[in-house]
Chains A and B, each alone.
Chain A
Amino acid sequence: MSTDLVPLAVIMLAVTYPTRAFGLLNPAIDRLPRRALEYLRLVGPAVLASLAAVNVMVASTDGRSTFTVGLPWLSVVACMALVAWRRNLFLGLAVAVAIAIAGRAAGLP
């Protein structure tokens, strides 16, 4: 059983723990510039949206990336709409999967 990514988990702990401990062990967070705090606040939506968009809109074959349109778009949009409406990610994921299963059963790519 592979353990190659365990060191990566340790690295992720090493870069995450300081952010979690910063305020509890040294309440100097107030001294960070306001713009730095604002940047950090916006990183989450930007990184997650970037990952989602690249995953469904870009297909890579033989080192070449091409723009792609397919059923996953519909699944992702449905999930986003449900999260925005009901604030329930699990419900959104369930519907996204259901759309993908139904779409593929109907022969959609």
Chain B
Amino acid sequence: MGFGFVYGLTARTVGAFSPIEAMAMSLLAFGGAAQFAAIGYVASGVSWPAIALLTFLLNARHALYSAALAPWFRGRSFGERAVAAHVVTDESFALAIAHFRRVGRFDPVGYWFAAIVTTMIPWNLATFAGVMLGDAVVEPSRFGIDVIFPAAMAGLAVALIDGRRALVAAFAGAAIGVLGSLAWSPTIGIIVGGIVGPLVGMATPETARAREGGA
């Protein structure tokens, strides 16, 4: 909930999103990292096709979550699975998969509770509160709000690092992003860093622990 609040606040103060725009992102895109990244893309003037590509790549990990959930949804209707897909996020996946493993079967109440009650509703309410407060902040840097966006991006990156390859990809993405920004523009730097960084990571030998974990 706190993170949704920070998203709303940042969307308003950094990206100049209106409440409707910030809420539309939270309802439709419904993905913390991609939404935060979109603030940076919009503020940096990244084109919409490029934002679409980067959003797709950034959210592609959801395909892995979806595949992991699929066996638990076996036998459920197409409609239920289609709606369930929209609320697959880092948080709802973690809660749902842990619950299914604990009870040993698919539990519709558990899934929808995790996805809607504990994730989607608080995220949207917190976004609304954040964007409304952001409207009232005249000088964001005085309250340290300007550091929230880069700190959130860096913190989320750290949370996703689960081995040497991910670490190298993050460092490469950062270095290429900065060098590309200085050579061309921040827009190009961010895109090139995000696309080339993973390639550098893939060229790195993985740690033994990550290999054993299936990474």
Measured CA separation A84–B159 after assembly (Å) = 7
Measured CA separation A53–B37 after assembly (Å) = 13
| Residues of chain A lying within 8 A (CB to CB) of residue B173 | 45-50, 53
* A17 lies within 8 A of B147 (CB): no
Task: Kindly supply a per-residue 1/0 record for chain A positions 66-102, scoring 1 wherever the CB is within 8 Å of any chain B CB and 0 otherwise.
Answer: 1100011001100110111001011011001111110
Measured CA separation A102–B173 after assembly (Å) = 30
| Residues of chain B lying within 8 A (CB to CB) of residue A4 | 21
The answer to whether A42 and B178 touch (CB under 8 A), given A11-B48, A23-B67, A96-B148, is no
* B174 lies within 8 A of A89 (CB): no
The answer to whether A53 and B144 touch (CB under 8 A), given A10-B28, A23-B67, A76-B150, is no
Measured CA separation A38–B194 after assembly (Å) = 14
Classify chain B: how many residues form its interface, as a range. Answer: 35 or more
Q: Secondary structure at chain B's binding surface: helix, strand, loop or mixed? A: helix
Q: Secondary structure at chain A's binding surface: helix, strand, loop or mixed? A: helix
| Residues of chain B lying within 8 A (CB to CB) of residue A46 | 169-170, 172-173, 193-198, 201
Measured CA separation A54–B63 after assembly (Å) = 28
Residue of B nearest to A6 (CB): B24
Measured CA separation A45–B39 after assembly (Å) = 17
* A54 lies within 8 A of B193 (CB): yes
The answer, yes or no, to whether B54 is at the interface (CB within 8 Å) is: yes
| Residues of chain B lying within 8 A (CB to CB) of residue A90 | 2-3, 6
Q: Which residues of A contact B (CB under 8 A)?
A: 1-6, 8-17, 19-25, 27, 29-30, 35, 37-58, 60, 65-67, 71-72, 75-76, 79-80, 82-84, 87, 89-90, 92-93, 96-101, 104
